[in-house]
Amino acid sequence: MRKKLIAANWKMHKTPEQAQSFVSALLPHLWEHTRDEIVLCPPFLAIPAVIEATKDSPIGVGGQDMFWEKEGAYTGAISAPMLRAVGCSHVIIGHSERRQYFGETDDTVNRKLRAALAAGLKPIVCVGEVLAEREAGVTEDVLRRQCSIAFREISGGEAIPMVVAYEPVWAIGTGKTATPELAAEAHRTIRAVAAEAFGEGVATQLRILYGGSVKPDNATLLMSQQEIDGALVGGASLDAKSFAAIVKW
């Protein structure tokens, strides 16, 4: 039985004050919610405020990105040990916006993933096809390539804390969602690659989230699918009520 994980990706939204107000508005909805694991991923500058505001709650906090080196002359970068030092438990790696706007590649995703696991963070690794790839019928090849490169040089034991998010790029921020059948098919491909890389036991336990325009009104349909182990939520995670409604799908 895989516990579902619902993660909020705030992207470049919210100051520390706004983040704190969000948590104050969210907590009353979720005090007794133990069915799912909940993680908030604010922008770096708001992380300490969210850690402080969630400190007596079961809500985890994660970064939206990190660099693979521990420290050094890497202007503008934040490392995995730095995220750990302020109290982060998770980190998003390889989000399609990082791939599209910041030059992230399958290889840099692998380097970041290995560094995150080595630092004791739980990485949420994002994969997914763009519209042209879906239309060309190569979704399975794309997912196989993204996952097999991301999983390189990681042992089954090391992979245990990892989570994968299947995010079809054409569904992110567009209001379009994959049907449960399309998502389940993609999740089966990802799990098959994980089984080849890490063995059946680890692959069976691997949580694979769905991301792409998850909203309160489609959360129940998506989250009740056996193959979908939770959600990575962008736009609808910015409002406490709407995020709480998704968590309580």
Catalog residues that contact ligand PEP under the rule CB under 6 A: 9, 167, 172-173, 211-214, 232-236
Nearer to ligand PEP, 26 or 232 (CB): 232
Closest residue to ligand PEP using C-beta atoms:
234
Q: What is the DSSP letter of 213?
A: S
* The one catalytic residue among 37, 95, 97, 187: 95
Phi, psi of 91 (to 5 degrees): -155, 135
Shortest Cβ 219–ligand PEP spacing (Å): 11
Cβ-contact 97, 11 below 8 angstroms: yes
Cβ-contact 134, 95 below 8 angstroms: no
> How many residues are present in the chain?
249
Shortest Cβ 151–ligand PEP spacing (Å): 20
SS3 (DSSP) at 230:
strand
Active site residue 104: no
Shortest Cβ 196–ligand PEP spacing (Å): 26
> Tokens at residue 75, please?
């202007």
Nearer to ligand PEP, 100 or 224 (CB): 100
* The one catalytic residue among 97, 104, 133, 167: 167
Active site residue 95: yes
Shortest Cβ 214–ligand PEP spacing (Å): 5
Nearer to ligand PEP, 89 or 218 (CB): 218
C-alpha distances (whole Å) from 10 to each of 7, 62, 92 are 10, 11, 11
Distance in angstroms (rounded) separating the CA atoms of residues 174 and 213: 7
Instruction: Kindly list the catalytic residues.
Output: 95, 167
